[in-house]
Structure 1
């Protein structure tokens, strides 16, 4: 596996990088603390204009934007990150509100059930439930729905796109995969926490995948292990060069392209995992968000 120790953190991100944990990993012992931190941080980011809907036991959706009053609106189903074992939909409230305002669309973020308490396929089923619900909203254009997410949320979005058509409510117009967690084999050979990767360590990655997979067959549950990617929705994959998920994201993009699936890759030099969350005001982060908005805008226009 590529090691980024000889690369430089982008100048705009150096300040934020100082506060990232590099030697503390998510483990059975630390999971409770990490979940508490996610909850604490998320409580400060809730905008007033958000509707919360209960979809099923343990599954809720947070909705932003109302789209156009003149015609059915495009929509984005957003899936939060957290290594499959932590995180909440409300941690991305500000981001979802920005998507809704920038694009004039409906954005729904789903709170899915977490591993290890709820291993595969529970989270994927919850996300599919949310996709079905979004497609049923009266103000949403079922022909213009995108799916997306960051980190584990990007992995779940990719897995959702891989569901057979008869199991999904819609064919998404785009997979927006933000530094996605796609391959359980990433970091398997790294020792300790591998401090070369700020923000998300190899040890955390191993624990996240083990918790999520449980007794499931990785050949079915892990997007990067699926041999057939033909016919999937076009994809946008964005990842930093200092991210543990860099190699797997690039490899997945190459496999999509080789099987006829259009894929745009945005590589951010000197960026670590979650850089845009750690430094949202940095120009490099704003440009990353603008690229995502353009990819969504283009996908919605193609489907119109």
Structure 2
């Protein structure tokens, strides 16, 4: 711990962060400008670019229409991708991108997901373009993710995937949505995923853990940005004593019957304590969770410093867990 009480960063990660500098916090006043800048910084690659010279087969799917699930409204646009030339129904990674619920897109995350997971494990991927706050409020993002999941399970043959081997996955806000989606599909009797991959999950709207205070001003995503994002989603529900776990998965009181979880977070990250608490709650409910707390890692460490030793270790651990999970099905 440094003189301020914050957990220090891994030296390689600290050097990478110092080279680029931390972005200013997201506030209600600058949110629209930050969204505009993020869209410019993360342009959507074309399907041809995603195909990478024939290395992957990539298709854009329009959102399912109304009435496709028991939830309201249409489903999201999805990008379907898989390693080229693989025959037979493949396991499916149903992937939700990060961006604090207010930024990011389904296209820009695909190159890394395909290269680091799909190609190594023979996975098909559906990357989901769920609606962003504040244009989308409260349960709309998770409802659209559920609509897409139900559509994918019903159209598995068309997609060339095995509906009995669906893994939910996501990063940051996408991981929080993944945890909420796992609860929602359990409660509605929807598709039954075999696992949930939760990478630095954004789980708790209250933002009052020890790590949230300890790493504020140090982590790349602090309490101000976190509160702004949750307010954008929840509106007048922000700060409510009771809130649906489908909006913030950490609010759940019943975590029994959920699929095995892989949970990773950095020790120097705002989300550290809520991720650890969620793993513990899954264990207390009799569930299966594998927890990795990467020493000295901040939020988004492996994206900012992919060559750092801890980033490489994290990628390898994810692959090992997914491989074990798929072998058991």
TM-score by length of 1: 0.90
Report the equivalent of 1:144: 165
Q: Does 1:107 align with 2:125?
A: yes
| Distance change in 2, residues 1:58/1:71 (3 Å) | closer
Report the equivalent of 1:289: 315
Q: Which of 218, 222, 239 matches 2:243?
A: 218
Report the equivalent of 1:83: 100
Task: Please report how far the alpha carbon of residue 168 of structure 1 lies from its aligned counterpart in structure 2 after TM superposition.
Answer: 5.6
| Distance change in 2, residues 1:4/1:63 (3 Å) | farther
Instruction: Indicate the RMSD between aligned Cα atoms, in angstroms.
Output: 2.4
Task: Please report how far the alpha carbon of residue 169 of structure 1 lies from its aligned counterpart in structure 2 after TM superposition.
Answer: 3.8
CA distance in 1, matches of 2:4, 2:315: 24
Query: Which sits farther off after the overlay, 53-62 or 227-236?
Result: 53-62
Query: Which consecutive residues of structure 1, in runs of 5 or more, have no partner in the other structure?
Result: none
Task: Please report how far the alpha carbon of residue 131 of structure 1 lies from its aligned counterpart in structure 2 after TM superposition.
Answer: 1.3
Report the equivalent of 1:60: 77
CA distance in 1, matches of 2:277, 2:98: 20
CA contact 2:209–2:273 (8 Å) conserved in 1:
no
Task: Please report how far the alpha carbon of residue 296 of structure 1 lies from its aligned counterpart in structure 2 after TM superposition.
Answer: 1.5
Partner of 2:169, secondary structure, is strand
| Distance change in 2, residues 1:11/1:235 (3 Å) | same
Q: Deviations over 1:64-123 (max 9, x none)?
A: 215874431101011011111111112312222122111111011101101111112110
Task: Please report how far the alpha carbon of residue 44 of structure 1 lies from its aligned counterpart in structure 2 after TM superposition.
Answer: 7.2
Query: Which sits farther off after the overlay, 88-97 or 175-184?
Result: 88-97
Query: Which sits farther off after the overlay, 234-243 or 169-178?
Result: 169-178
Report the equivalent of 2:70: none
Task: Please report how far the alpha carbon of residue 31 of structure 1 lies from its aligned counterpart in structure 2 after TM superposition.
Answer: 1.4
Task: Please report how far the alpha carbon of residue 58 of structure 1 lies from its aligned counterpart in structure 2 after TM superposition.
Answer: 7.8
What does residue range 252-267 of structure 1 map to in structure 2 within 5 Å?
252-267=278-293
Report the equivalent of 2:110: 93
What does residue range 222-301 of structure 1 map to in structure 2 within 5 Å?
222-301=248-327
Task: Please report how far the alpha carbon of residue 186 of structure 1 lies from its aligned counterpart in structure 2 after TM superposition.
Answer: 1.5
Task: Please report how far the alpha carbon of residue 7 of structure 1 lies from its aligned counterpart in structure 2 after TM superposition.
Answer: 2.7
Task: Please report how far the alpha carbon of residue 234 of structure 1 lies from its aligned counterpart in structure 2 after TM superposition.
Answer: 0.7
What does residue range 174-189 of structure 1 map to in structure 2 within 5 Å?
174-187=195-208
Task: Please report how far the alpha carbon of residue 165 of structure 1 lies from its aligned counterpart in structure 2 after TM superposition.
Answer: 3.4
Partner of 1:290, secondary structure, is helix
Report the equivalent of 1:33: 33
Q: Deviations over 1:145-196 (max 9, x none)?
A: 00011111000000000014363641111110000000111248978x9313
Q: Does 1:48 align with 2:50?
A: yes
CA contact 1:54–1:61 (8 Å) conserved in 2:
yes
Query: Which consecutive residues of structure 2, in runs of 5 or more, have no partner in the other structure?
Result: 52-57, 65-73
Task: Please report how far the alpha carbon of residue 4 of structure 1 lies from its aligned counterpart in structure 2 after TM superposition.
Answer: 7.7
State how many pairs are aligned: 298
CA distance in 2, matches of 1:63, 1:156: 19
